[in-house]
Amino acid sequence: MSDRTGHEATSDLDAKNRAFPILSLFLCALALRLWGIDWSLPNERHLFSYHPDEGVNLVMGVLENGRDPRPHLDLRFYNYGGLYFYLWQGAVAINQSYGLVREPDSQQPTMSPTATFAALLKVGRLLTALLGALMAWAVFALGSRLFGRTAGWIAGAVYAIVPAAVVHSHYATVDVPATFFLTVALVVPAERPDWAAGDWAPVLLRRGPEGASH
């Protein structure tokens, strides 16, 4: 009995020792992606952000009929896949219930601080930043499965700080979410090659990125 208890305690300690560096990698990546997340949000000088795609994504992918920020299935917007926009809609609905992100806007004085363009865009940006930070874990996991744990750490650490990935994780656009879902779709087949030969793998590898991007 004591041997089993000692073995379980050792296993728990090993799991914590493995989880802490991964959590640290995620938090480092997240911190870089949250730094400057407010850049060019709508204010008294401009109605939308300076990023050319964010306004289009907000109006066409999140606002129902281009006006109301509430969840809806029929986007009527086919420039990209709908998965990221559905997640964004859900995040907006949660924020409107709990008021975690509030951005008053003098150009929209009658709007709730959780429903202004600034607040809606910031929610989308935070979602992108979260998925971008999780990408560091996904890259680590994929690298570890394919080339060993050391390669996984190097790949995850590089992705966490590489400028292009950090910059694109600041915007409410589909690029980072699509990359995240594609990478996750590769992690499982890399862990279980026998699964990769199954019928589900081609569907996941194709439909996952399609749902988030084009």
Calpha distance 124→62 (Å, rounded): 9
pLDDT at residue 4, rounded to an integer: 55
pLDDT at residue 188, rounded to an integer: 78
Neighbours of 210 (CB within 10 A): 16
- Whether the CB-CB separation of 93 and 99 falls below 8 Å is answered with no
The model's pLDDT over 54-66, given as tens digits with 9 standing for 90+, comes to 999 999 999 998 8
pLDDT at residue 212, rounded to an integer: 59
Domain ranges across the chain:
2-212
The two tokens of residue 7 are: 């073995």
- pLDDT grade for 1, boundaries at 50, 70 and 90: very low
Question: Does position 2 have pLDDT exceeding 80, yes or no?
Answer: no
- Whether the CB-CB separation of 182 and 214 falls below 8 Å is answered with no
Angle between the N-to-C axes of helices 83-98 and 117-147, in degrees from 0 to 180, rounded to the nearest 10: 130
Calpha distance 53→36 (Å, rounded): 18
The two tokens of residue 117 are: 């363009």
pLDDT at residue 109, rounded to an integer: 80
The two tokens of residue 6 are: 């000692």
Mean pLDDT across the stretch 111-125? 94
- pLDDT grade for 93, boundaries at 50, 70 and 90: very high
More confident residue, 54 or 214: 54
Continuous H helices in the chain: 2-34, 54-61, 83-98, 117-147, 149-161, 163-168, 175-191, 193-196, 200-212
What's phi and psi for 12, nearest 5 deg? Answer: -60, -40
Give the length of the chain: 214
Calpha distance 164→162 (Å, rounded): 6
